[in-house]
Structure 1
Amino acid sequence: MTTVSIKNTKEIKKMRVAGKLVAEVLEMIETYIQPDVSTEELNYICHNHIINKQKAKPACLGYNGFPKSICISVNDVVCHGIPNYKNKLKNGDIVNIDVAIIKNKYYSDASKMFFVGQPTPLGKMLCEVAKKSLYSSLYIIKPGIYLNQIGKTIQKYVEKHNFSIVREYCGHGIGTKFHEDPQILHHNYYNSEQIQLRSGMTFTIEPMINAGKCEVKCMNDGWTIKTKDHSLSAQYEHTILVNEKGCEVLTIQKGETIPRILCNSY
């Protein structure tokens, strides 16, 4: 039986702080994403910002042996890309930056896509569909709905646009641990445990979608996940709080086209 943590008012306040810090990093790094910059340089900038300015900790660094402070996944890398000096961005690349932070013993986690120079039409469309598939799920979240409705909503949106959803990776509960119950699947898996959402739940939603087929492979470094058919992949992620009438996006960033608080109960 899955045990889901329900956060109290004090815990939610701390998670709002951590979520705001994650959003700040993703806002800050955008100006540095240019052709010829290495992914290690971007990691260094984020690391210093988190440690020295925010007085927080990068949750990825050392997590199960992960060697860097953020994940950077370029083009056909689905997730968990390891920053390095040899990997330099070039015009037309699509880039996912995944940031997780620990502040006052609480975690928050989010990622978004960035364009390097001018994206290809396919890359631009893929990123837009990935973002809107996440947004579509936020508008149904409220106490009482079943967890698999999130994945069902995302799958319907993605497949309507003829893209595929990665099955091997999912969202997760988050709080005093990086990964808590429940798992948040991004497709409609009928045999998943029937969990109803309750006010006070906090979790991530992070659909990964591919321009080609959904199959992925793990590289020899044990972390980097790529599409098997070398097609482009895109991901957006937010940390969400379920409230009494809908949800609150704890990692919302400037310029997003959704409200911070969504009222989904009528």
Structure 2
Amino acid sequence: MHWFTADPHYCHDRIIGLAGRPFPDVAAMNAHLLAECRARVGPDDELWILGDFTAGRSTDAQRREVRGIFHALPGRRHLIRGNHDEDWVCDLPWDSVNETADIVVDKRRLFLCHYPMITWPGARHQGLQLFGHVHQNWRGSRNSVNVGVDVWDFRPVTLPQIEARAARLPVNAHWDQVEPGRAWPTELCAGRGAILDPALVFGHAAVRNGRIVVAATNETIVTIGEAMRKWLPEGRRVCPECIGGYLSIGEVALPVGFTFDEMRNRAVPRKK
């Protein structure tokens, strides 16, 4: 699993006042931030820190404490360098250190940078940009999301959490100027809350008249019972990834004479 965070500012006492953090002192802040990471990130997980691991004065005592915190962090640790990350921070034994990173998580392209951006590699194809730097001042926009600790209750977050927030953020006011004609999706999957990609609209399903159907063709995928209809409202879209999972629920059934094709994620006539 991949976890994302930014701007912890370990051992930086002034950040408590600058960012309005609810800690009595830097020791309490350090302990809380580290505990939140250790409670979530597993030993085989990827932990991406998008800059400003620490900041402020670089005394010998501070460096020793920061090194101790670093070695207590779980998972494989990746640093996207921020403006406060001095060379000695980057020289810690990270699994990777980069100015930016272009990665794919759960089939979604992510561009990681300490700073918020207006456009980036993959932006035209629903790629999300993740950033920090601005602390509590801006949560981001529909496709560029602040993963800093100051807007995520001082804990790392996963891609589904980021996607759910992104879908509710406003579209960047400059989007039409930098990527004209590239509308950003505004609809969420009724099943798992993921952003629906308009480029794949033909493959999306919709809830219609007690059935989940292929949105573009009205082809029946599965039928749904009364209990299921209460949380799959009429007219809502459903992404293909959810359909197979619904078959394990007793309230969902295939049409008579059909079987489920896992490769196509569709109900198909049963072969005679």
State the TM-score, normalized to the length of structure 2.
0.23
Larger Rg belongs to: 2
Higher relative contact order (CA 8 A, sep 6+): 1
State the TM-score, normalized to the length of structure 1.
0.23
